[in-house]
Amino acid sequence: SHRRVREHTHMPLSLSLATLSLAFPLRAPPLPPRARVVASAASDDLSALGFRSAAEAAAEQRLRRSRAEEAAGGACAGPSGPASSVYLVGVGPGDVELLTVKALRLMRDADLVLYDRLISPEVLSMVGPQAAMLYVGKEAGLHTRPQEEIHRLLHLYAHAGKSVVRLKGGDPTVFGRGGEELEYLEARGVPVQIVPGITAASGIAAALRVPLTHRDYADSVRFVTGHARSENSAPVAERYRWEVLSDPSQTLVVYMGLSTLPQFADGLLQAGLDASTPAVAVQDGTTATQRVVAAPLGGLATAVEEASLASPTLVIIGRVVSLLREASAGELAAAAAAAA
């Protein structure tokens, strides 16, 4: 067999991270017991925690996406020294060329990188070869690691003196929970730097050649999330101020709203927004797998269901979408594939 079985031994964090570039199986490893996830900073084995090289992380991310397509904690030890900075880095909506120069520099210099499900393999491949990578992605109904555990890991490794980068799709503070991580770390004396990224609304609208505001169509833009907190049991109809969201002179952008799109659209219609209002849903925006479904608001949910769009899908609603030519959806998908 070409696979090698390696015995994990305890390894101090001061050990060179170059050791971590040794070969690991390309399949996603089983998650370690929670007790080992937040062990002492002096004895943690980074490979046992699931850290990988940038190349391995990119390969595993491809495998996770392939599997998804086929299917169509413990107490943290106290800090051992002064904390190094944690960088909350936005990497944009998916197109690797939309990375900022600062994000790219930090990715290339990082010791440890924690990354989400929405980070594309192409972006992960830009991380420096010396970095140890840890997947902490979330998706509906399945969280690899709870947010509280991610907080503790960031705290732990910052106090171990490592350069820690937390990669997030889009912008880290636009529905990315960057604010929660900022509060947690700063309350414990960890310096935090936020590196903004191009949020999905801006990147995807630009790829569609649809302006978010326009003097003749929309004098404001509003970002909302279609995904409620897990403890929020209120029905969609009770979560929003529909009279505000249904303003026809604004552009409405819905993040993470695929599963609630029928109820969300109905709420807007019930509040008086015209059923003929132009709307568009975009899966995997700015990437080679981008898919675009445009339809009037009244028929958007049905069109999206018939097209079997999957997460992540962004929805843009408003008169500016009328500037999207019918022929452009196929052209844009072809252009994204050619640029990949």
CA-based radius of gyration for the chain = 21
Q: In what order do the strands lie in the sheet with 164-168?
A: 132-135, 112-115, 164-168, 86-90, 192-195
Question: Is 102 known to be catalytic?
Answer: no
- Which H or E run includes 62? helix 54-70
Q: Which among 167, 246, 170 is positioned nearest to 204, based on CA atoms? A: 170
Q: In this structure, what DSSP letter does residue 85 have?
A: P
Q: Is the dihedral of CA 170, 174, 175, 178 positive or negative?
A: positive
Contact 113, 167 (CB under 8 A): yes
The beta strands (E) that lie in 178-239 are given as 192-195, 220-225
The token duo for 28 is 């996603």
Catalytic residue among 102, 109, 126, 138: 138
Q: What is the largest CA-CA distance in the chain?
A: 65
Q: Which of 116, 162, 171, 284 is catalytic?
A: 116
For residue 11, indicate whether it is catalytic.
no
Q: Select which of 45, 168, 171, 256 is catalytic.
A: 256
Q: Active site includes 133?
A: no
Q: Show which residues are catalytic.
A: 116, 138, 256
